[in-house]
Amino acid sequence: QVQLKETGPDLVQLTQTLSITCTVSGFSLTTYNVHWVRQPPGKGLEWMGAMWNGGGTDYNSAFKSRLSISRDTSKSQVFLKMNSLQTDDTAKYFCASSYYYDGTPVWWGQGVMVTVSS
């Protein structure tokens, strides 16, 4: 059974760095891809980037160089790190996984709501 769970802070201070961990079970990170998607309160979804099963990454250029995605396959964890947080980064952050051959997420974590506070 594929499962994903995000863990991270509820609150981050303005200009600080956000770190979220996605812990997966039921599959290997070397066979499935993991995506990061966020959703500001009351708004739509935004694709942030992905860690591909082969270890490569792709990012949404909207985040410029603020965003980094990495993984530890031995711990079945994928990490999101984003710096220079602003108030409009307040959102629920989801990790989600897709088949290795497919770019669209099938399984989703419950998400973690992060508020950026000034």
Partner 1 sequence: DIQMTQSPSSLSASLGDRVTITCRASQDIGNYLTWFQQKPGKSPRRMIYGATNLEDGVPSRFSGSRSGSDYSLTISSLESEDVADYHCLQSIQYPHTFGAGTKLELK
Q: CA-to-CA distance for 18 and 51, rounded, in angstroms?
A: 18
Residue 104: CB minimum distance to partner 1, A: 4
Among 23-31, 46-54, 64-72, 77-85, the segment contacting partner 1 (CB under 8 A): 46-54
61 counts as binding partner 1 under rule CB under 8 A: yes
Among 20-28, 53-61, 67-75, 80-88, the segment contacting partner 1 (CB under 8 A): 53-61
Ranges within 78-117 binding partner 1 (CB under 8 A): 94, 96, 102-106, 108-111
Q: CA-to-CA distance for 36 and 34, rounded, in angstroms?
A: 7
For residue 18, the cross-strand partners are 82
For residue 10, the cross-strand partners are none
For residue 93, the cross-strand partners are 38, 112
23 burial level (CB within 10 Å; 0-12, 13-18, 19+): middle
Nearest residue (CB) to partner 1, 12 versus 93: 93
Binding stretches for partner 1 (CB under 8 A): 37, 43-47, 49, 58-62, 94, 96, 102-106, 108-111
